[in-house]
Amino acid sequence: MSKFQILVVEDDAPVRNLITTTLKAHDYRFATAVNGNDAVMETASHNPDVILLDLGLPDIDGVEVIRRIRSWSNVPIIVISARSEDNDKIDALDAGADDYLTKPFSVEELLARLRVTQRRLVQMQSAGGNQPVFVNGQLRIDYASGCAYLNGEEMHLTPIEYKLLCLLSQNAGKVLTHKFITQSVWGSSWENDIGSLRVFMATLRKKLEKAPGSPQYIQTHIGIGYRMLRIE
Amino acid sequence: MVYQTQKGHTEEHILVCLSSSPSNAKIIHTAARMARAFNSRFTALFVENPNYETAPENRRRLRENQALAKQHGAQVETVYGEDVAYQIAEFARLSGITKIVLGRSIAAQRSPLGKMMLTEQLSFYAPEIDIHIIPDGSAGRIYRPVKVKNNHKAGIWKDAASSIAFLCGTTLLSLGFYRLGFTDANIIMVYILGVLLTSTVVSHQIYSLVSSIASVFIFNFLFTHPRFSFTAYETGYPVTFVVMFLTAYITGTFAIRYKEQAAQSAKIAYRTKILFDTNQLLSKAGNKAEIQNAAAEQIMKLLGRNIVIFENENEGLSAPLFFPPDTAWDTSYDLEEELDTARWVLKNNHAAGASTNILPDTRYMYLAIRVGERVYGVIGIDAAENPLDASEQSILLSILGECALALENEKNAREKEAAAVLAESEQLRANLLRTISHDLRTPLTTISGNASNLISNGSSFDEKTRKQIYTDIYDDAMWLINLVENLLYATRIEEGRMTLNTSTELLGDIVEEAMKHISRKADQRHLSVMHEDDMILVRADAKLVVQVIINIVDNAVKYTMPDSDIIVKTRKNNGMAEVRIADNGSGISDEEKEKVFEKFYSGSNKIADNRRSLGLGLYLCKAIIAAHGGVICAEDNEPKGTAFVFTLPLEEVTLHE
Instruction: Annotate chain A with DSSP letters as a single string.
Output: -TT-EEEEE-S-HHHHHHHHHHHHHTT-EEEEESSHHHHHHHHHHH--SEEEEES--SSS-HHHHHHHHHTT----EEEEE----HHHHHHHHHHT--EEEESS--HHHHHHHHHHHHHHHHHHHHH-S--SEEEETTEEEETTTTEEEETTEEP---HHHHHHHHHHHHTTTSEEEHHHHHHHHTS---HHHHHHHHHHHHHHHHHH-S-TTS-SSEEEETTTEEEEPP--
Distance from C-alpha of B64 to C-alpha of B76, rounded to nearest angstrom: 12
Q: Does B509 touch chain A (CB under 8 A)?
A: yes
Among A86, A199, A220, beta carbon nearest to B512 = A220
**CA B244 to each of CA B191, B198, B235, B474, B514: distance values in angstroms, whole numbers, following the listed order:** 9, 16, 15, 117, 106
Angle, nearest 10°, between helix axes B56-71 and B24-38?
20
Q: Which of A178, A196, A220 is closest, CB to CB, to B509?
A: A220
CA dihedral B529, B530, B533, B537 (to 10 degrees): -20
**Position B653 confidence tier, pLDDT thresholds 50, 70, 90:** confident
pLDDT value of residue B6:
41
Q: What tens digit of pLDDT does each residue of B184-223 get?
A: 888 888 888 888 888 888 877 888 888 888 888 888 888 8
| Average of per-residue pLDDT values in chain A | 85
**Stated length of chain B:** 657
**Alpha carbon B241 to chain centroid, angstroms:** 63
Architecture of domain B496-649: 2-Layer Sandwich (3.30)
Rounded to 5 degrees, φ, ψ at B634 are -105, 135
Q: Which residues of chain B make contact with A160, given a CB cutoff of 8 A? A: 656-657
Which residue in B has a C-alpha nearest to residue A226's C-alpha? B509
Does the beta-carbon distance from A196 to B655 stay under 8 Å? yes
Instruction: Report chain A residues whose CB lies below 8 A from the CB of B485.
Output: 84
CA-to-CA distance for B545 and B398, rounded, in angstroms? 53
Return the residue of A nearest to B510 by Cα: A222
Cβ-based neighbours of B545, under 8 Å, separated by 6 or more: B505, B510, B514, B538, B624, B628, B648
pLDDT of residue B604: 55
| Per-range mean pLDDT, top range of B60-74, B427-441, B552-566 | B552-566
Residue A87: the pLDDT is 78
- Could B488 and A201 be called an inter-chain contact, meaning their C-beta atoms sit closer than 8 Å? no
So what's the pLDDT on residue B622? 86
pLDDT tens digits for range B444-491: 888 888 888 888 877 888 888 888 888 888 888 887 887 787 777 777
CA distance A161 to B362: 61
Strands B364-371 and A5-9, sheet pairing: unpaired
Please tell me the distance from the alpha carbon of residue B175 to that of residue B188, in angstroms, as a whole number.
Answer: 12
The CA distance from B477 to B570, in Å, is 31
Q: Quote the minimal CA–CA distance from A101 to chain B in Å.
A: 14
Query: Which residue from A193, A198, A214 is facing B506, i.e. has the nearest CB?
Result: A198
Cα distance from A168 to chain B (closest Cα, Å)? 18
- In terms of pLDDT, which residue wins out, B453 or B616? B453
- What are B337-370's pLDDT values in tens digits? 888 888 888 888 888 888 777 788 888 889 888 8
Among candidates A198, A206, A223 on the partner chain, residue whose Cβ is nearest the Cβ of B504: A198
Distance from CA of A215 to the nearest CA of B (A): 10
Closest CA–CA distance from residue B485 to any residue of chain A (Å):
9
ipTM of the complex: 0.72
Contact check, Cβ <8 Å, B657/A194: no
Check residues A213 and B622 and name the one with the higher pLDDT.
B622
Closest-CA residue of A relative to B482 is A104
**Chain B from 195 to 254: CB within 8 A of any A CB:** none
Facing residue for B655 by CB, picked from A191, A199, A212: A199
| Mean pLDDT of the region B78-106 | 78
Kindly list the domain boundaries of chain B, sorted by start residue.
13-134, 153-263, 289-411, 496-649
List helix spans (H) across B384-462. Answer: 390-457
Cα distances from A12 to residues A9, A32, A62, A94, B331, in angstroms, run 9, 12, 14, 25, 68
* Lowest mean pLDDT across A125-134, B286-295, B506-515: A125-134
pLDDT exceeds 80 at position B570:
yes
- Name the pLDDT band for B648 (thresholds 50, 70, 90): very high
Contact A46, A32 (CB under 8 A): no
The domain B13-134 is placed in CATH, from the list 3.40.50.300, 1.10.357.10, 3.40.50.620, 3.90.1650.10, at 3.40.50.620
Classified as helix, coil or strand, B380 is strand
Nearest to B503 among A186, A194, A200 (CB): A194
B504, A191: Cβ pair inside 8 Å? yes
- Pick the residue of B470, B483, B497, B504 with the most A CBs within 10 A to test the interface with A by mutation: B504
Chain B residues inside the 8 Å CB shell of A202: 506, 508, 534-535
Q: Which amino acid is at B410?
A: E
Domain B289-411 bears CATH identifier 3.30.450.40: yes
Residues of B in contact with A186 (CB under 8 A): 656
Q: Would you say how long chain A is, in residues?
A: 232
Amino acid at residue number B112: P
Taking contacts as CB-CB distances below 8 angstroms, the residues of chain A near B513 are 220, 222
3-state secondary structure of B148: strand
The rounded distance, in Å, linking the Cα atoms of B131 and B85 is 12
The residue of B509, B513, B515 whose CB has the most chain A CBs within 10 angstroms, and thus the best one to mutate to test that interface, is B509
Whether residues B653 and A104 touch (CB distance < 8 A) is answered with: no
Phi then psi for residue B56, to 5 deg, are -55, -35
Residues B56-66 have pLDDT tens digits of: 677 778 778 87
DSSP 8-state class, residue B559: T
Check residue B146 and report its DSSP letter. P
Distances (CA, A) of A76 to A43, A121, B193, B353, B449: 11, 8, 115, 70, 40
Residue B542 at interface with chain A, using a CB cutoff of 8 Å: yes
Q: What is the residue-averaged pLDDT of chain B? A: 80
Compute the nearest-CA separation of B457 from chain A (Å): 21
Per-residue pLDDT band for B613 (boundaries 50, 70, 90) equals low
Q: How many angstroms separate the CA of residue A225 from the nearest CA in chain B?
A: 11
Which of A104, A192, A222 is the closest to B656 by Cβ? A192
> For residue A200, which residues of chain B lie inside 8 Å, CB to CB?
655
Sheet holding B41-48, edge to edge: B75-80, B41-48, B13-18, B99-103, B130-134
Rounded CA separation B242/B244 (Å): 5
**Which residues of B are less than 8 Å from A201 in CB distance?**
506
* HSE-CB for A166 with a 13 A CA cutoff: 20
- Give the up-direction half-sphere exposure of residue B202: CA atoms within 13 A in the CB hemisphere: 28
Q: What is the pairing mode between strands B130-134 and B99-103?
A: parallel
Q: Is A25 on the interface with B (CB under 8 A)?
A: no
Tell me the CA distances in angstroms from A191 to A160, A161, B615, B624, B655, one per residue in order: 17, 19, 36, 22, 12
Cα distances (Å, whole numbers) of residue B118 to B91, B112, B113 = 15, 12, 13
Would you say the C-alpha torsion A93, A95, A96, A101 has a positive or negative sign? negative
Residue ranges of A 98-117 with Cβ closer than 8 A to chain B: 104
Q: Say yes or no to pLDDT of B600 above 80.
A: no
* CB of A69 closer than 8 Å to CB of A51: yes
Q: In this predicted model, which residue has the larger pLDDT, B520 or A170? A: A170
B610 touches chain A (CB under 8 A): no
* Whether the bond into A104 is cis, omega within 30 of 0: yes
3-state helix, strand, coil in chain B (%, to 5): 55, 15, 30
Residue B395 C-alpha, separation from nearest chain A C-alpha, in angstroms: 53
B508 in reach of chain A (CB within 8 A)? yes
Rounded to whole angstroms, the Cα distance separating B138 from B141 reads 6
Task: List beta partners, residue B330.
Answer: none
Could you give the dihedral angle defined by the CA atoms of residues A210, A216, A221 and A226, in that order, rounded to the nearest 10 degrees? -90
- pLDDT at res. B520: 64
Q: Mark yes or no for CB contact B537/A198 under 8 Å.
A: yes
Cα B483 to Cα B614: distance, rounded to the nearest angstrom: 8
Which tens digit of pLDDT belongs to each residue from B104-157? 777 666 655 455 677 788 888 878 888 888 887 654 444 444 444 444 566 788
Among B147-156, B160-169, B224-233, B522-531, the range of highest mean pLDDT: B160-169
Grade residue B578 by pLDDT with cuts at 50, 70 and 90. Answer: very high
Q: Among B515, B555, B551, which Cα is nearest to B531's? A: B515
What is the CB neighbour count within 10 angstroms for residue B297?
Answer: 15
For B146-195, the pLDDT digits (tens) are 444 444 566 788 888 888 998 899 999 988 888 888 888 888 888 888 88
Does A86 sit within 8 Å of B504, measured CB to CB?
no
